Structure 1
Amino acid sequence: MKVFSTSFWFIKLPLFCFVAFILWFIPWVFLLYSGLLIYFPYESDGKSRYIRITGPVVSVFSPQSWSSYNEIPKTCKAALIAAEDNRFYQHKGVDFESLKMSFITNQKIGKKKRGGSTITQQLVKNAFLSRKKSYLRKSREIMGAFILDGIMLKDQQLEWYFNVVEFGPKIYGLENAAQKYFNTEAKRLTPSQCIALVAIIPSPKKWNQSLVTQKPTSFFVQRYKKILNTIQKMGILNNKDLVIARNYEAIKGKEQLDNALLNKTKLPDNTIKTIEGVEDFDENDEDENSEDY
C-alpha cells in the first residue's frame, strides 16, 4: 500500500487546501462586493424601503412595488419559463446546451446576436453587469449564475427577476409594469396580460409600443401566440383562461378576468417545475434584458 510522503502532508496538502479555499472564497467576495447580496430594509422619513446596491447604481424599492413570489401570478411565472428558459428547474444556473446552440448561431451569422442566457444569468446581468456585449461579460455572467444558483432557491430567483427586470423605459418590476400598462396590481394581472408583459421582456424599450399604442405588431402577436401555445402544452390554463388569453381585447384591459379565477384553478405545486420539451423562441431583434451576449 502506498504511503503518502512527508512532503505531501506538510507542503502539498496545505497548499491544496489553500488553493481550494481561495477558489471558494473569491466568488463570494465577487458577489458581496458587486452588491448583489447587499439587500436590506432601512428607515428613511419614517417609511420602510428595500435597497439594492448594484455597483455604482443604487435601486430603491418601496414595499408597495415589490411583489412576493406568491403574489406573482402563476401564468406570469409559466410564461417567463416558457419564453426565456424552459429548463429553468433542471439546470444549475447555466444551460450548456443552449450556450452551445447560441455559439453555433453566432458563428453562422457572424456576430454576437444570440446569448443563450438562462433566467439566472439574466438576473445576474440585470443586477450588476453592464449591457456591453463581450465574451468577458458573458464569462462573468456565467460565473455569477453558478454562484447565485447555489445560494438562492429557484423560486427566489423568479421573485427577484420579476422585481428587477425592465418592462419599458424606467419601468422596473412587475408591479410598476402592471400599474403602467394595465392600471392594476401585479397579483391581479390576467393570463393575457401576463403573457403580453413577458413577451416584451427581451427588448422592452422597443416592443412595449404594442402595449402603449394598443396596436400590437405582427411580431408581438407571433411571440404572444408562441408563448400561449407553450403554456397550453404545460397545462397551466383551463379552457376558460385560454379563451380569454386568446382575446387581444383582454390585453388592453377592456375585458376583465374574475379575480378569483386563478385561485379556483387547482394546480400541482410542481406544475411549472416539470416542463421539459417546450419550444424555445428565436430572437430576431436586438434585446436589452435576456439574450444580451
Structure 2
Amino acid sequence: MIASEDQKFFGHEGVDWNAIQDSVAANGKKGRAVRGGSTITQQLAKNLFFDTGKSVTRKLRELIVAWWLEQDLPKVRILALYLNVIEWGDGIYGCEAAARAYYDKSAADLTPIEAAGLVAMIPKPRRTNPVVSPARFARAQKRVLWLMASAGYIEKEVAGLGTEPPPEVLDPEPPPEVPETEPSPEVPETEPSPEASPTEPPPEVPEDGARVSRHTTRAPAWL
C-alpha cells in the first residue's frame, strides 16, 4: 500500500507537496488527469468527510482535514482507517471484505502477490479488477509488485519481475473533439430583372423579314 500509494507516508504531515507538483506537471503535459498527488491521509479525509466532487474549495478543506488527522491520530491508525473505508468494487468496502470477495480468504492470510492485486485496484476499483478487466488488472498488479520490490518489501525474483519497470496503467486518451462545421449560408434566389423579362412577347417576324406591328388601327365609326 505505502509503496504504491504514498511512499513518504511516514515522513510527511498529511500533504506531500512534491507529489502535488509532480501531479500538476504530469497532468499538464498530458492535458488531462493521469496522476494524483494526494497522500493516504488526504484520501482518508476525502472518504470520511467529502463527496467525489472536485473544486479548489473542497481541495483546500481536504488539506486542512488531513493536517488535523495527522495531529490527532498516529500513522498506523490513519493507515488502518484508510484500509477499512475505501472501496474495492461494487458494494465492497474495506480490505477484509475485498480479500474475501476476490481471494476467498482473510486479509491477514494474503500473499504479497495477492496483496499487490488489491492495492492495484485502489485508484479505480470498478475498472481495474480481475472480474471486469483481467488484463488491465494484471498490468496494474505487476507495477505494484515492482514498486514493492523497489522499496525493499519483496525480492524481484519472488514476483517474477524483469529488469525494467512496468509502465503505468493509464486510461486511454479521449478521442479529439471534432469541431462542428457551420452550414453554408443560403444563397437567395435571384429574381429576374424587369428589363430582362419583357412583359410583351417579341414581335413576330414574317418570312420576308418585314416586321409586323401588333398595334391595330381602329376603324372609323362610319365604316
Query: TM over 0.5, yes or no?
Result: yes
The structure-2 alpha-carbon separation of the partners of 1:230 and 1:110, relative to structure 1 and needing over 3 Å to count, comes to closer
Among 131, 142, 148, the alignment partner of 1:225 is: 142
Q: Distance in 2 between matches of 1:117 and 1:223?
A: 19
Among 54, 61, 68, the alignment partner of 1:140 is: 61
8 Å CA contact retained: 1:114, 1:283: no
- Report the TM-score when normalising by structure 1: 0.52
Give the structure with the higher percent strand.
1
State the AA in 2 paired with 1:163.
N
Q: Distance in 1 between matches of 2:31 and 2:57?
A: 18
In structure 2, runs of 5+ residues without a counterpart are 173-223
Q: Distance in 2 between matches of 1:196 and 1:232?
A: 14
Among 171, 174, 178, the alignment partner of 1:285 is: 171
The structure-2 alpha-carbon separation of the partners of 1:197 and 1:132, relative to structure 1 and needing over 3 Å to count, comes to same
Residues 254-277 of structure 1: per-residue CA shift (max 9 Å, x gap): xxxxxxxxxxxxxxxxxxxxxxxx
Among 123, 128, 134, the alignment partner of 1:216 is: 134
1:253 equivalent in structure 2: none
2:41 equivalent in structure 1: 120
- Report the TM-score when normalising by structure 2: 0.68
Residues 41-81 of structure 1: per-residue CA shift (max 9 Å, x gap): xxxxxxxxxxxxxxxxxxxxxxxxxxxxxxxxxxxxxxx11
Within the alignment, does 1:199 sit opposite 2:116 as a pair?
no
Total equivalences in the alignment = 169
8 Å CA contact retained: 1:112, 1:133: no
SS of the residue 1:117 aligns to? coil
State the AA in 2 paired with 1:193.
E
Give the 5 Å matches for 1:6-85.
Answer: 80-85=1-6
1:264 equivalent in structure 2: none
Residues 2-22 of structure 1: per-residue CA shift (max 9 Å, x gap): xxxxxxxxxxxxxxxxxxxxx
Residues 165-199 of structure 1: per-residue CA shift (max 9 Å, x gap): 11101100011011111111111111111000000
The structure-2 alpha-carbon separation of the partners of 1:88 and 1:233, relative to structure 1 and needing over 3 Å to count, comes to same
Q: Distance in 1 between matches of 2:168 and 2:16?
A: 16
The structure-2 alpha-carbon separation of the partners of 1:238 and 1:105, relative to structure 1 and needing over 3 Å to count, comes to closer
1:143 is displaced (CA, Å) by: 1.1
Within the alignment, does 1:95 sit opposite 2:16 as a pair?
yes
The structure-2 alpha-carbon separation of the partners of 1:229 and 1:282, relative to structure 1 and needing over 3 Å to count, comes to closer
State the AA in 2 paired with 1:120.
T
1:112 is displaced (CA, Å) by: 4.5
1:163 is displaced (CA, Å) by: 0.5
8 Å CA contact retained: 2:140, 2:169: no
Q: Larger Cα Rg: Structure 1 or Structure 2?
A: 2
Residues 206-228 of structure 1: per-residue CA shift (max 9 Å, x gap): 112x2x26x721x4333222221
8 Å CA contact retained: 2:139, 2:169: no
The structure-2 alpha-carbon separation of the partners of 1:112 and 1:139, relative to structure 1 and needing over 3 Å to count, comes to farther
1:123 is displaced (CA, Å) by: 0.7
1:268 equivalent in structure 2: none
Within the alignment, does 1:129 sit opposite 2:50 as a pair?
yes
1:85 is displaced (CA, Å) by: 0.8
SS of the residue 2:88 aligns to? strand
1:86 equivalent in structure 2: 7
8 Å CA contact retained: 1:94, 1:145: yes
1:120 is displaced (CA, Å) by: 0.6
1:119 is displaced (CA, Å) by: 0.6
Within the alignment, does 1:150 sit opposite 2:68 as a pair?
no
- Give RMSD over aligned pairs: 2.6
Q: 4+ residue runs of structure 1 moved beyond 4 angstroms?
A: none
Residues 11-45 of structure 1: per-residue CA shift (max 9 Å, x gap): xxxxxxxxxxxxxxxxxxxxxxxxxxxxxxxxxxx
